[in-house]
Amino acid sequence: MKQSLDVETLNTMVVEAKKYTKEGVVADYIPALGEANPETLSIAIYRGKGDCIAAGNIREKFTLQSISKVITLAVALMDHGEEYVFSKVGMEPTGDPFNSIAKLESNVPSKPLNPMINAGALAVTNMIIGETIDEKLGRILSLVHEMTCNPEITYCERVAKSELDTAFLNRSLCYFMKQHGVVKGVVEELLNLYTKQCAIQVDCYDLAKLGYVIANDGKNPNTERQIIPLHIARILKTFMVTCGMYNSSGEFAIKVGIPAKSGVSGAIMGSVPHGIGVGIYGPALDDRGNSVAGMKLLESLSSRYDLSIF
Ligand code: GLU
């Protein structure tokens, strides 16, 4: 890093970036997410061994939404290995919106383009091993607990239900994929698990730790025990670079250059390889579904401290 990163500088950067919250709107296609305060912006940066700095309203909780796709991909890869997972889901980025159905129909045989768009993520969640929804969710949560060293983390029932009640597009993606043999089993059960995984509730500290583990080759942020195999942590980071910021991933790679994944709750998780983990929450989104102020904050962090991997 060019200069040392302290709380005072971080606070100033948050105040600067906060101005951009006015340019976005909160997601309301999941009704419960529409209740978020669009003016909020907070960040935590985890530097390993309990060293964390933060700015903004950092105790505020929010749901992972699409960031959970990175975690479930790790579980599915650990459960089945790369060959099986990527026989069902591709590895290519897309310029289409995250919930698009278009390529599912035009690609023959039908296969979601990557695990970060909704179709691919639903197919990945469908692979998680377990007898019941609770057992599968429990396995996803266990990994989150280990990565964050926070066993209290659970999912928000209200947000999960709100999404389940209104997930018409995701339902149609599932039925389309079931017709084409990409997903198996009962669609309602898959949606039930997926909406709960998306509703896993964290704060910026937890999110920064999740990012830190992925940044640091899958090792526990305190004990350095290997939680996720090295080659899987590498796959996760690569998807974060190529597909993590929806159809803004190319522009984000140029302007910021940090492997990152965003969610429609307004959260962004950043992983600087062999460096810091970043957790940001700013629910005002741009038209692609990324936190407007969160992206600005990451951009200034990256340029000020020379964090681009390119
Ligand atoms: N639960 C959300 C959905 O499936 C996640 C989308 C996102 O965060 O990009 O629509």
Cβ atoms of 208 and 277 closer than 8 Å:
yes
| Cα 65 to ligand 1 centre (Å) | 5
| Distance in angstroms (rounded) separating the CA atoms of residues 23 and 284 | 8
Look up 20 and say whether it is catalytic: no
User: Under 8 Å CB-to-CB from 281, ≥6 apart: which residues?
Assistant: 40, 41, 42, 43, 56, 60, 62, 203, 204, 207, 265, 266, 267, 291, 294
Identify the domain containing residue 96 by its residue range.
68-198
Position 222 scores a pLDDT of 83
Cβ atoms of 13 and 36 closer than 8 Å:
no
Look up 69 and say whether it is catalytic: yes
Cβ atoms of 266 and 62 closer than 8 Å:
yes
Look up 87 and say whether it is catalytic: no
Residue after which a domain boundary falls, among 198, 226, 252: 198
Q: Does residue 92 lie within any of the structural domains?
A: yes
Position 39 scores a pLDDT of 96
Q: Is the same domain home to 30 and 75? A: no
Q: Is the same domain home to 240 and 280? A: yes
**Ligand 1 environment, Cβ below 6 A:** 65-66, 98-99, 118, 163, 170, 198, 263-264, 289
| Distance in angstroms (rounded) separating the CA atoms of residues 258 and 269 | 10
269: β partners: 261, 279
Position 1 scores a pLDDT of 46
| Distance in angstroms (rounded) separating the CA atoms of residues 257 and 152 | 32
Position 98 scores a pLDDT of 77
Q: Does residue 38 lie within any of the structural domains?
A: yes
Residue after which a domain boundary falls, among 145, 177, 198: 198
pLDDT tens-digit series, residues 270-310: 999 999 999 999 999 999 999 999 999 999 999 999 999 99
Q: Is the same domain home to 233 and 137? A: no
Position 107 scores a pLDDT of 79
| Probe target for ligand 1 pocket from 29, 65, 286, with the most ligand atoms within 8 Å of CB | 65
CATH number, domain with residue 24: 3.40.710.10
- Pairing type for strands 42-46 and 277-281 reads antiparallel
Residue after which a domain boundary falls, among 165, 198, 231: 198
Provide DSSP, 224-250. --BSS-HHHHHHHHHHHHHHTTGGGHH
Could you say which residues of the chain have pLDDT below 50?
1-2
| Cα 198 to ligand 1 centre (Å) | 7
Cβ atoms of 283 and 262 closer than 8 Å:
no
Position 3 scores a pLDDT of 61
Distance of CA 110 to the CA centre of its chain: 24
Look up 205 and say whether it is catalytic: no
Percent helix, strand, coil in the chain (nearest 5)? 50, 10, 40
91: β partners: none
If one counts the domains in the chain, the total is: 2
Q: Is the same domain home to 209 and 282? A: yes
Closest by CA position to 136, among listed 151, 124, 150, 146: 124
Closest by CA position to 158, among listed 125, 185, 196: 196
Position 183 scores a pLDDT of 95
| Distance in angstroms (rounded) separating the CA atoms of residues 115 and 235 | 11
Q: Is the same domain home to 81 and 185? A: yes
Cβ atoms of 194 and 66 closer than 8 Å:
no
279: β partners: 44, 269
Distance of CA 37 to the CA centre of its chain: 20
| Cα 118 to ligand 1 centre (Å) | 7
Atom of ligand 1 nearest to the CA of 289: 9
- Please state, in angstroms and as integers, the Cα–Cα distance from residue 172 to each residue in 123, 164, 166, following that order: 13, 13, 12
Confidence (pTM): 0.96
Q: Does residue 310 lie within any of the structural domains?
A: no
At position 297, the amino acid (one-letter code) is L
